[in-house]
Amino acid sequence: MEEPPNYQPPMSVEELLQRYASGERYFAKFELPDGANLSGVNLEGSSLDHAMLFDVDFSGSNLRGVSFCGANIKCVNFRGADLEGAKFEGAAVESIMLDQANLNGVTFRGATCYGYTLKDGQRP
């Protein structure tokens, strides 16, 4: 997904959700606040490339086709989330929870887990 002209990342979770509701899908480089609760939200088809996600709750969320490429993802709860087709390529992934998440078609190619680089088809 190409960066829109004059793009600025959202400044808050509320702004992210408002911009998504108005049709925007590009949220690269967004720094979610530690402990953000996004459980049950719909961000299908969004780009969160190079985002900073620490201690975020995405449990039960619709994250189908979301791109997390190059993102920093630590202590994130994806339990029960629909991640079908999501991309974590080149992301730094540590201590994520994926219990009962839909992982069909998810890619972690080139992602790192505690310094280990995942190969195509591997999952953390």
The CATH number covering residue 41 comes to 2.160.20.80
| Residue 12 is assigned to a structural domain of this protein | no
| Residue 115 is assigned to a structural domain of this protein | yes
| Residue 123 is assigned to a structural domain of this protein | yes
| Residue 44 is assigned to a structural domain of this protein | yes
86 vs 47, 61, 99, 104, CA distance in Å?
10, 12, 16, 9
| Residue 95 is assigned to a structural domain of this protein | yes
Residue count (the chain): 124
Q: Model confidence over 32-89: pLDDT tens digits? A: 989 999 999 999 999 999 999 999 999 999 999 999 999 999 999 999 999 999 999 9
Specify whether the backbone of 75 is left (phi greater than 0), alpha (psi in -120 to 50) or beta: left
Comparing 84 with 112, the larger pLDDT belongs to 84
How many independent structural domains does the chain possess? 1
pTM as predicted: 0.90
Report whether 73 contacts 53 (CB < 8 A). Answer: yes
**Tokens 């999501």, located at residue:** 86
| Residue 67 is assigned to a structural domain of this protein | yes
| Residue 13 is assigned to a structural domain of this protein | no
- What is the token pair recorded at 123? 């999952």
Q: DSSP character for 81?
A: -
| Residue 16 is assigned to a structural domain of this protein | no
Range of the domain at 62: 35-124
